[in-house]
């Protein structure tokens, strides 16, 4: 396999109050996709009722209501029930989340290069932006 169809994939769980994301959340998702830094592979909306029950809504069911008509999603169904159950634990009762499965487009070529050279990524770790900014601010202060 010399060429990869996909680069590294990451699942983001973006929380918001209520059952429906506000326009700024929707705009943020659209800006990310339009930047071409990532490719949207799947998108779900998950709500946790006050009694703890999770409800999953697929993009095609609510695209009109959420202002996401025409949003290209490459691999609908990639986020499965196990992903929803695992990540859904972070959703507080009475709130919801958008679950985005994105491919890091910039890293596809890098992954191919490593593979052809006999190398491989052994591990990655994401440091959340708030943590990085706090550490930098603390070291500069």
| 25-71 confidence digits (pLDDT tens) | 888 888 988 898 899 999 999 999 999 999 999 888 888 888 888 88
Which residue has tokens 């998950």? 46
What is the edge-to-edge ordering of all strands in the sheet holding 38-48? 9-17, 95-104, 38-48, 54-58
- Compute the average pLDDT of residues 19-28: 86
What tokens appear for 43 in the block?
């998108």
Token look-up 């830094």 returns: 37
Return the residue matching tokens 């691999």: 75
1 pLDDT more than 60? no
CA 64, CA 50: separation in Å to the nearest integer?
Answer: 26
**pLDDT score of 91:** 97
Mean pLDDT lowest among 1-5, 9-13, 67-71, 99-103: 1-5
Q: Are 9 and 20 in contact (CB under 8 A)?
A: no
Give residue-wise pLDDT tens across range 71-122.
888 888 889 899 999 999 999 999 999 999 999 988 888 888 898 999 988 8
* pTM, rounded to two decimals: 0.81
Mean pLDDT of 126-137: 89
The three-state DSSP-derived secondary structure of the chain is CCCCCCCCEEEEEEEEECCCCCHHHHHHHHHHHHCCCEEEEEEEEEEECCCCCEEEEEHHHHHHHHCCCCCCCCCCCCCCHHHHHHHHCCCCCCEEEEEEEEEEHHHHHHHHHHHHCCCCCCCCCCCCHHHHHHHHHHHHC
pLDDT at 69: 83
């Amino acid at each position: 396999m010399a060429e990869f169809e996909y680069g590294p994939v990451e699942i983001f769980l973006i929380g918001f109050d209520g059952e429906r994301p506000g326009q700024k959340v929707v705009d943020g998702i659209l800006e990310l996709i339009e930047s071409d830094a990532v490719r949207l592979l799947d998108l779900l909306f998950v709500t946790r009722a006050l009694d703890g029950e999770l409800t999953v809504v697929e993009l095609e069911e609510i695209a009109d209501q959420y202002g996401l008509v025409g949003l290209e999603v490459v691999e609908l169904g990639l986020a499965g029930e196990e992903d929803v159950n695992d990540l859904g634990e972070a959703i507080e009762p009475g709130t919801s989340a958008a679950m985005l499965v994105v491919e890091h487009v910039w890293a596809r070529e890098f992954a191919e290069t490593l593979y052809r050279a006999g190398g491989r990524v052994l591990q990655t770790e994401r440091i959340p932006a708030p943590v990085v900014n706090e550490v930098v601010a603390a070291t500069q202060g």
